[in-house]
Amino acid sequence: MPFDQVYEKYFPFWKQLSDEDKYLCQNSSVVCFEKEQPVHDNLECSGVFIVKKGKLRLYMLSEDGKEITLYRLSPGEICMLSASCVLQSITFDVYVSAEVRSECYMISGPAFSAVSERVLQVKNYALEAATQRFSDVMWIMQQIVFMSMDKRLAIFLLDEIAENEGDMVVMTHEQIARHLGTAREVVTRMLRHFASDGLVEVKRKGIKILDKNKLRDIAY
């Protein structure tokens, strides 16, 4: 699909742009990322991404390499926090990587920024996209601060099967731990506990969910 049609579909402001501002199409490309490949790190203004295929993961990273997943982006969703030059008020570091093999439309950060400085609707759109994610992040923070790890793990497993359908969470304990910002040992211990209660079955290729309702009782 030509960029013009893609942007008309995803950006509510697109039709209001002048032909001149639609030069964003000339500053666009389709980029592919292999599984686990970094899409964006904190320092650059990588640009605005629209997920075409696959899934992106946004996360925080500590100095000693500890991660915590903030949220994931599916096809049709837009990554605005990777365009730090568009959003000067965002001063924190965020990292983005491809969770699976992914394809994205990418608009150059400086080009998008220039249009957003000229056209208030575009600026508005970018800010609105950022504040929406603010709510997602607060939900994660609430889990971290106020919830016990068993509750967080139960929510995580339920979210995973809701997103990917089926009853398998195809991840290693290490990967789950990374999402939750904890140690692998903690996840392993908790899963063993869930398994002995008949909630899950720990298999070689991942976690099989046996009892969604009991898991929900823990989660909510």
Task: State the nearest-atom distance from the C-beta of 216 to a second copy, in Å.
Answer: 16
Cβ proximity to a second copy, 152 vs 207, nearer residue: 152
> Does 137 engage in binding with a second copy (CB under 8 A)?
yes
Cβ–Cβ under 8 Å, residues 153 and 194: yes
CA 56 from centroid of its chain's CA atoms? 5
**Residue 28, number of CB atoms within 10 A of its CB:** 22
Indicate which single residue of 1, 5, 139, 148 sits in contact with a second copy (rule: CB under 8 A): 139
Distance of alpha carbon 177 from alpha carbon 175, whole angstroms: 5
Cβ proximity to a second copy, 20 vs 63, nearer residue: 63
Indicate which single residue of 42, 121, 175, 188 sits in contact with a second copy (rule: CB under 8 A): 121
> Does 18 engage in binding with a second copy (CB under 8 A)?
no
Tokens read off for 49: 């991404």
Q: Which helix (H) or strand (E) holds 112?
A: helix 109-118
Task: State the nearest-atom distance from the C-beta of 29 to a second copy, in Å.
Answer: 27
Residues 55-84 that bind a second copy (CB under 8 A): 60, 62-64, 66, 68
Could you give phi then psi for residue 167, rounded to 5 degrees? -125, 15
Indicate which single residue of 6, 45, 85, 90 sits in contact with a second copy (rule: CB under 8 A): 90
Cβ proximity to a second copy, 31 vs 68, nearer residue: 68
Among the residue ranges 25-33, 87-95, 171-179, 200-208, the one whose residues contact a second copy (CB under 8 A): 87-95
Cβ proximity to a second copy, 145 vs 162, nearer residue: 145
Cβ proximity to a second copy, 140 vs 171, nearer residue: 140
Helix (H, G, I), strand (E, B) or coil at 167: coil
Largest CA distance in the chain: 63
DSSP conformation letters of 36-75: T-EEE-TTS---EEEEEES-EEEEEE-TTS-EEEEEEE-T
Distance of alpha carbon 52 from alpha carbon 104, whole angstroms: 5
> Does 91 engage in binding with a second copy (CB under 8 A)?
yes
Distance of alpha carbon 21 from alpha carbon 118, whole angstroms: 9
Residues near a second copy (CB under 8 A) are 60, 62-64, 66, 68, 87, 89-92, 120-121, 123-124, 127-128, 130-132, 134-135, 137-142, 144-146, 181
